[in-house]
Amino acid sequence: MNRRDLGSTRLAAFALGLSAVAAPGCGSEERLSPVDRPSSSNSSGGGGAEPEPEPAVRQVFVRNPIGLPIDNLLADGDFELSIVPEAEAGGQYGWIALRGNGGTAPLLAETGGLCRSGLRCGRLPAGRILFGRGTAAPHELPHKASIWLKPVSWQPRPPAELAEPCESLADVYVLACDSFSVVGVLRPAALPSADGWCELRAELAGSTRALCMYAEIGEQELLLDNATLLAAPELASGPLPAPITPPTPTTERMRLVREQIRARMPLGSPKPLVTAMPRGPEAREGGLLD
């Protein structure tokens, strides 16, 4: 499929309002299109055996740097718009990383094809907590939630001896943003995808209150990408599920994170309007913001 064909297919899908078609990770894996090879007409046409083509070094592609899908109910599911210098960690971004005591931590990033989608993805060491801001679907529609994880150490596939490689990478919950009451637990797929990413997903009831994502990273440093919380009108709206109570240590950490987030929710300028004027090279070379 050439670039124009692929583009027009997706454009047509969106024109029908099927935004999820453009959403890698909504149940389908994003595939990197291999670089086209020269056509056979490039050969000399001689009768001898053609030399083996040299292997490709890399694939090249174009990805949306803003993040998809566009109707994601997570503010920055694709980890494109929450990667900031450490001094800004803890701002009201789509994702914030925290330590076990509730204190904020930097959210690291990986890039390009090392990520599952977009240009950037999240990277967190073992034991960290990740909080993702979101909202709920209108009309109390049910939801589908998903996030893709991959240990940094997998190159790119998990070690063959792992029977259940996607188990225990992280505990991921969807919860009410205000109360932190858990409304769903994301369960890992049995096996990773061909490129070594593990999907965790859940189906959730409709909600009248905003939903957020909360993850506790397990014992391995992880890449995180392509998280989605999407309205799922195709799911039947059944009775509300029974409340989910995470293990006590998790509940305690959730309480600390909730306190941190609620207490520091900014209403106005979180810091003084002016703290310091740029000096030296910063003053001459432009603004402070990168």
Partner 1 sequence: MSRSTLGRWIPAVGVATLALAGSPAAAWAGAFDERGVFRVSADAAAFEAFVAPTYFVPDDAEESCTLKTFHEIIDDGTALEGATYARVDAPSACQVRFVVELPPVQASYRATLWMRHGSAGARVLVSYPAESGIPLQPARMAPTGRATSDGWIELATNEFPVDGTLSPTVYLRFADFADADGVDLDAFELVPAGEFVAGEACEGVRDPVCGPERTCISGQCVLGRLSVPPLPEPPLKQAMAAALAGRIEVFYGGRKTRLEDLPVARLSLARMRSAQSAWAYWSDFGRAVRELHDWHTSASAPVGESLAVTTARLNACFVEGDADRSRGTWPSHPAYRDILVSHVGNGSAGLAPGDRLVAVDGLHPLEWARGLVDVQWGYHVATDASSFADFAEALGGPAWSGGAMLLRYAREITVVRCDAGTGTCSDVAETLRIRDLPAVLGGPDVYCDNRPRYHLGDESPSEATHQVFYEIFDGPVANTTPEEAIYGMVWDTLYGGGDPNGYVNGKIRTLSAFWKQNARGVILDHRAGNGGTLDAPEYMTQLVRPPFTLAAVRMPIEIAGFEGPSTPAEGVALFEQSKAFSPYTVGADDHDPELPVALILHRDGSASDYMPLGMKGAPKVRIFGPGPTAGAFSTFVQFAYWGGLRMQLASGDTITFDGQPWIGRGVMPDQVVQQRQSDLMVGVDTLHEAALAWVRQELKQP
Q: Which residues ranging from 95 to 114 are in contact with partner 1 (CB under 8 A)?
A: 106-114
User: Minimum CB separation from partner 1 for residue 103, in Å?
Assistant: 12
Q: How far apart are CA 163 and CA 167, in angstroms?
A: 9
Among 48, 49, 234, 271, indicate the residue that binds partner 1 (CB under 8 A): 271
Q: Which of 5, 22, 127 is nearest to 68 (CA)?
A: 22
Pull the structure tokens for residue 5.
């064909």
Among 98, 129, 137, 149, indicate the residue that binds partner 1 (CB under 8 A): 137
How many chain residues bind partner 1 (CB under 8 A)? 112
User: Minimum CB separation from partner 1 for residue 256, in Å?
Assistant: 12
User: Both ends of the chain: CA-CA distance in Å?
Assistant: 37
Residue pair 271/91 in contact (Cβ under 8 Å)? The answer is no
Does 225 participate in binding partner 1 (rule CB under 8 A)? no
Pull the structure tokens for residue 134.
């979101």
Tell me which residues in 3-62 interact with partner 1 (CB under 8 A). Answer: 3, 6-7, 10-11, 14-15, 17, 19, 22-24, 30-38, 54-62
HSE at residue 70, side-chain half, CA atoms within 13 A, is 7
Among 98, 104, 105, 117, indicate the residue that binds partner 1 (CB under 8 A): 117
Residue pair 198/165 in contact (Cβ under 8 Å)? The answer is yes
Tell me which residues in 165-224 interact with partner 1 (CB under 8 A). Answer: 176-179, 208-210
Q: Which residue has the tokens 């894996």?
A: 29
User: Minimum CB separation from partner 1 for residue 20, in Å?
Assistant: 9
Measured from the CB atom, is 107 or 188 closer to partner 1?
107
Residue pair 237/158 in contact (Cβ under 8 Å)? The answer is no
Q: How far is CA 226 from the centre of its chain?
A: 3
Measured from the CB atom, is 162 or 203 closer to partner 1?
203
